[in-house]
Structure 1
Amino acid sequence: MTASFARLRMRFLIILCLTCFWGTSEQCQSAEITPTDAKQAMKKATHFFTSEVSTNGGYLWRYSEDLSQREGEERASDSRIWVQPPGTPTVGEAFLTAYQKTREPYLLEAAKAAASALVKGQLKSGGWTYYIDFQDRMNTQYRIDGGGPRARNTTTFDDNTSQAALRYLILLDQELKFQDQTIHGAVTYALDAFLKAQFPNGGWPQRYSRFPDPKEFPVLKANYPESWSRTFPKKKYQNYYTFNDNAIADLVDLMFLAHHVYGDSRYRDAALKAGDFIILAQMPEPQPAWSQQYNQKMQPDWARKFEPPAVTGGESQGIIKTLMQIYIYSGEKKYLEPIPSALAYLKKSELPDGRLARFYELKTNRPLYFTKHYQLTFKSDDMPTHYSFIVKSSIDSLDSRYRSLLKASPERLASMRFPTRRVRLTPSLTAKATSAIDSLNARGAWIKQGDIRTAKRENVPVIDTRVFIHNLTNLADFVAAHQRD
């Protein structure tokens, strides 16, 4: 090799490296993996998940690498799947979305299997509880092969459980053009039940086993109790009007989706009625925000032993977002009217570090905390770690969004209701897809170091549904982006 040729070759290699480094790495990386590579990885991972991990088409949260230990929020047997996200509905929706992006038939079959599992776990009360058991059927009133009238039959809206299940079935029903009568029947049965479970004032409970008698739930405005217990009274709270864990926010989104898909005005009316409840539930001065839960007198009350009667800096921020969503869908400005006073109150309630307390004492507005022994206190130096007693403040971004909505035209509001996200081929997406392919093992599993909490095993190899969903989504996006370009 002549010296001049060697210098030319070296110059070419330097230019090539700089080209990849300074902004056109997309071209360099995309040459390393192809849509075919991504499709092969998706198929291999899906085959492993559906044939080895799945139970009757459904999923838990986490598994040991050898699949001998399984858990959702609790330890689970191999006959049990989880409904509460990130369980079966979340995995099913990932399959469905990946199918819609790639049109690979096996993904639709996996999505339908997850839906079938949910249908077999639907309760006679209309919704779902946290898990479904395919072996122990007689202790629960499943609509299909379930127990008798004394068996459990409690639909839960806690932690987006029933909402996520029904949302997924609605989306699949739409994709199947409403031709699968089993899925469509489960959807209509659930929607009818959720409408019946709504209280006269527009709120919903955390969970229910029977529908409310309107005579027992008068429509009242939120008000302060004359006094309240500083010690946990151990009362049932499941039929309280509940904002905790975004229960009503998830139901509002669900009802708007149902109206969008089926065109039935009952679902839109239910969402707006929930907005009317939010207006009723705003506390009067000096704390014009919201509580986590209210009793039948529309007064803040205890739920669990670490959830006292209080005004919440946590859920109140989510409620403001929900009001804005209802305005986007309805265009009715009455749903924006509670927001300015709530934002002003929350802003002045921020802690010295700019965050918000989860709970503020009624009327005095002093931040409330709990000790590790669950004693109510004004000090934050001995708090349990399983619950967020101090939360991030998003007041400034909420205020900015509120002001932009005030200026939005009807056309702009309409475009915000069900936005579609265009997938673009970027260096970041290519890197994510490459990582997903490289980290898939010979079995077709994505393994990470994590904990099997219910078995008290820490930092061990686990199969996590969230990792599967994340990687499947990135691979499907990569394929879809190539199809667009």
Structure 2
Amino acid sequence: MLASIPRKTVTLFAILYCHVVVARQLPLPQQAEQTMLKATRYMADSVSTHGGYVWYYLPDLSRRWGEMEAYKTMIWVQDGGTVSVGHMLLDAYDATGNEYFYQQAERAGEAMIWGQSNEGGWNYMVDFAGDRSLKKWYATIGKNGWRLEEFQHYYGNSTYDDDVSSDAARLLLRLYLEKFDPRYKPALDKAISFILKSQYPNGGWPQRYPLKHDFNKAGHPDYSSFYTFNDDVIWENVFFLIQCYETLGESRFLEPINKGMNFYLLVQGKNGAWGQQYDMNRQVAGARTYEPADYLPRYTFNNCLLLLRFYRYTGDRKYLAHIQDAKWLEKTKLPERMTQNGKYTHPLYVNPANDKPIFVHRKGANVIYGYYYADTSDARLLGHYPGKSYINIQYLKDEYAKISALSPKEVTHDSPLMPGEFEGADIPQTWYHLSREEHAENEPVSEAGVKVIIDRLDSRNRWLIKHGQSCFRRAVE
């Protein structure tokens, strides 16, 4: 199983993925490297906080944001921040061999080690001013995040939401494997132990760990200890452990990997559907106040595709047995009048009791005077959370037909979990390019797109972008 370049970060660093050019008299590869060096030096020398980053900065650096506004002493762990930059810098080092990129990746790794919890995980952010400052942030900025309810309460523990802890651990794994530097092994081992220890005996994972139960909101129980599929918590942990098994080669990873895969079958509904969270009785549960205790067609579709992947990994046909049960996806399609001329096929939520669509809305202006509510009307849906989605059921059917037709021997030919001789070049530790994606690929960039990017580099070696990645994508198309 080969993994490729990580997803682009949503910071000023994002543009570096293109290997852009500036000194036009040089051949393209050298131009790219020179541009990358200039931009990286600016970010490292002028923007970085002890090797770490948030998501966005004003040009004068007077204010900065992760998913919410941050103190100047903060860095963000969540995708788009320090971990994403660290991965990108390692990619730059792998592409060029230039030690400066590796040195800056080391700084990002050192920032992650500094911010690692005693148990081995990470929170969304790290505050170099310490616990006192972080609690102040939660009590002022965090508590006013209306939709961002995960920031309204200071737990003092670590999170798997948005791949926070597992991707930070992956960065340490990459740093360790890059040069087999023993400095990273203790923090890596600590992170791996955290992931293994926090797994429930039945194979699921909570959203946060160590377990806490002290944030009940508007009559909703604290969901952070629930078995969590939301934002792929369980899959991301399973995938990271698979990457550890591939590169570190320790048999101790196999049992938690298999337990994690089996958990998908354990909680699948009789109708073939899944919810985002499950309580300790394995009943579908809600989370944030705009996430009701309902089934989700989108998660059902994605989890069925994962079951097909688990069959490829193991050759065990039990993972195929209930995919056909997801005919529920056909049953829960939106009525034509709600599809916006075919743009959408399914609601985000479906009532488990009657398979009717559920839509979430909100009233008010802020966290104090506002609230969320759910009903069956698709008018005035949330702007920050999609109320509908497009699901390609035919693709699932085709994948099922193709993969289920293969014998266990055929389907596991390239499995990372089955016994077999390593067939890659060199050794596994240097062969696999670890990423959040199983088979991520670089997006092609035209020379014209590269020239546009060159022209937008300012005199201080910055790219100032107005609307995040949208401007970046338009620039390179």
TM-score bin, normalised by smaller chain: 0.7 to 0.9
Shift of 1:404: 2.5
Q: Distance in 1 between matches of 2:128 and 2:471?
A: 25
Whether the 8 Å contact between 2:276 and 2:286 is mirrored in structure 1 is: no
Partner of 1:369: helix, strand, or coil? strand
**Which of 391, 395, 401 is the aligned partner of 1:403?**
401
Partner of 2:265: 279
Query: 1:165 is matched by which residue type in structure 2?
Result: A
Shift of 1:42: 0.8
1:195–1:423 Cα change, 3 Å: closer
Partner of 1:104: 98
Matched, 1:386 2:384: yes
Matched, 1:329 2:313: yes
**Which of 285, 289, 306 is the aligned partner of 1:305?**
289
1:390–1:201 Cα change, 3 Å: same
Query: 1:188 is matched by which residue type in structure 2?
Result: D
Query: 1:431 is matched by which residue type in structure 2?
Result: A
Offset from partner CA, 1:162-187 (integer Å, 9 cap, x none): 1111112112211122x232x21111
1:200–1:466 Cα change, 3 Å: farther
Partner of 1:93: 87
1:361–1:246 Cα change, 3 Å: same
Partner of 1:449: 466
> What TM-score comes out, normalization by structure 1 length?
0.75
Shift of 1:194: 1.0
- In the TM superposition, 1:310-389 aligns within 5 A as 310-342=294-326, 344-351=327-334, 352=336, 353=339, 354-373=344-363, 374-389=372-387
Partner of 1:23: none
**Which of 149, 160, 168 is the aligned partner of 2:163?**
160
120-129 vs 30-39, which deviates more?
A: 30-39
Whether the 8 Å contact between 1:45 and 1:444 is mirrored in structure 2 is: yes
1:91–1:416 Cα change, 3 Å: farther
Q: Distance in 1 between matches of 2:252 and 2:42?
A: 42
Q: Distance in 2 between matches of 1:255 and 1:326?
A: 14
Partner of 1:440: helix, strand, or coil? coil
Shift of 1:90: 0.7
1:165–1:110 Cα change, 3 Å: same
Partner of 1:184: 185
Q: Distance in 1 between matches of 2:117 and 2:361?
A: 38
Q: Distance in 2 between matches of 1:321 and 1:275?
A: 12
1:414–1:76 Cα change, 3 Å: farther
Whether the 8 Å contact between 2:329 and 2:393 is mirrored in structure 1 is: yes
Offset from partner CA, 1:95-141 (integer Å, 9 cap, x none): 11121122111111111111110010000122100000111245779
Partner of 2:79: helix, strand, or coil? coil
Whether the 8 Å contact between 1:123 and 1:153 is mirrored in structure 2 is: no
Partner of 1:295: 279
- In the TM superposition, 1:117-136 aligns within 5 A as 117-136=111-130
Whether the 8 Å contact between 1:91 and 1:469 is mirrored in structure 2 is: no
Where does the alignment leave 5 or more consecutive residues of structure 1 unmatched? 1-29, 142-150, 213-230, 451-463, 475-485
Offset from partner CA, 1:63-86 (integer Å, 9 cap, x none): 111111100011112110000111
Whether the 8 Å contact between 2:54 and 2:64 is mirrored in structure 1 is: yes
Whether the 8 Å contact between 1:232 and 1:302 is mirrored in structure 2 is: no
Offset from partner CA, 1:174-206 (integer Å, 9 cap, x none): 1122x232x211111111111111111100001
The structure whose Rg is larger is 1
Q: Distance in 1 between matches of 2:59 and 2:133?
A: 31
Whether the 8 Å contact between 2:77 and 2:125 is mirrored in structure 1 is: yes
**Which of 19, 41, 45 is the aligned partner of 1:47?**
41
**What is the Cα-based RMSD across aligned positions, in Å?**
3.0
Partner of 1:372: helix, strand, or coil? strand
Query: 1:204 is matched by which residue type in structure 2?
Result: W
Q: Distance in 1 between matches of 2:170 and 2:473?
A: 17
Q: Percent identity at matched positions?
A: 31
> What TM-score comes out, normalization by structure 2 length?
0.76
Q: Distance in 2 between matches of 1:411 and 1:467?
A: 44
Partner of 2:284: helix, strand, or coil? coil
1:389–1:422 Cα change, 3 Å: closer
Q: Distance in 2 between matches of 1:413 and 1:106?
A: 40
114-123 vs 163-172, which deviates more?
A: 163-172
Q: Distance in 2 between matches of 1:339 and 1:243?
A: 17
1:76–1:421 Cα change, 3 Å: closer
Q: Distance in 1 between matches of 2:412 and 2:448?
A: 35
Number of aligned residues: 396
Whether the 8 Å contact between 1:249 and 1:319 is mirrored in structure 2 is: no
Shift of 1:436: 3.0
Q: Distance in 2 between matches of 1:69 and 1:468?
A: 21
1:468–1:360 Cα change, 3 Å: closer
Shift of 1:442: 1.6
